[in-house]
Amino acid sequence: MFIVFRKLCSPDPQPGAGDPAPQPQPDPKKPSDPKPGESESELAKALIEARKNSVPREDYEKLQKEKKELLDQIINGGEGIGGGQQPKPQEKADINALREELYGPKSSELSNLEVADKTLKLRAAVIDQEGYDPFLPYGAKIKPSEDDRQKAEKVAQVMQECIDEADGNSEMFTALLQSRTTNDSPELLAKLRKMGSKK
């Protein structure tokens, strides 16, 4: 047994017998020798040039993060460039709260401007959530026509224009609204006809 162990551990004394000596393998981690014609100064210049054209790691990571955010915004339907946050979904208006403000016990405290503004908000909420326009006529035998829809939209548009132009001034709103609308109710027209026939 000792002999076998000794044979395994000791080199073969006869030259040429047994396995040849292992040849040294190049180390892949070791930098390669410079190519012929390249000097150390040329390598130093190349290294300096590479450093000039590189960016600090923090800046690179920051730009990568911004790029990812922009792509996410574009993919998810956001604005893309110009917005740093995801757009928030618009909250639905509370129809019952708007009705309470408009028709509840405190409604008499509202100005004309506030009534018009809340009315338009209520109309938009009802159209969005309940699927019908409260400015249109409805009934058992009444179905709104295209003309009715156009008139309802025109009323809402004129009211919104007056609200925007009044810029928070209720008296200005009332004056603007009165200047853009006419009273064509049947009762008023009947009174005007009576007054005209008496003259």
| Rounded distance between C-alpha atoms, residue 174 and residue 45, angstroms | 79
Mean pLDDT of 66-87: 66
Q: Which residues contact 94 (CB under 8 A, 6 or more apart)?
A: 125
Q: Do the domain assignments include residue 69?
A: no
pLDDT of residue 80: 46
pTM exceeding 0.85: no
Query: To the nearest 10°, the Cα dihedral for 148, 90, 114, 173?
Result: -70
What pLDDT, in 10s, does the model give residues 117-133?
999 999 999 999 998 89
pLDDT of residue 73: 80
Start-to-end CA distance of the chain, whole Å, equals 146
Q: Do the domain assignments include residue 155?
A: yes
Q: Is the pLDDT of residue 34 over 70?
A: no
pLDDT of residue 56: 77
Token code pair at residue 28? 């892949």
| Rounded distance between C-alpha atoms, residue 57 and residue 87, angstroms | 30
Q: Do the domain assignments include residue 146?
A: yes
Q: Do the domain assignments include residue 167?
A: yes
Q: Do the domain assignments include residue 190?
A: yes
Q: Do the domain assignments include residue 145?
A: yes
C-alpha distances in Å from residue 173, one per residue of 24, 102, 111, 152: 95, 18, 10, 19
pLDDT of residue 4: 46
Q: Is the pLDDT of residue 167 over 80?
A: yes
- The total domain count for the chain is 1
C-alpha distances in Å from residue 1, one per residue of 5, 7, 8, 18: 6, 10, 11, 21
What pLDDT, in 10s, does the model give residues 172-187?
999 998 888 877 777 7
Structural domain range at position 142: 132-198
pLDDT of residue 1: 44
Q: Do the domain assignments include residue 28?
A: no
Q: Do the domain assignments include residue 144?
A: yes
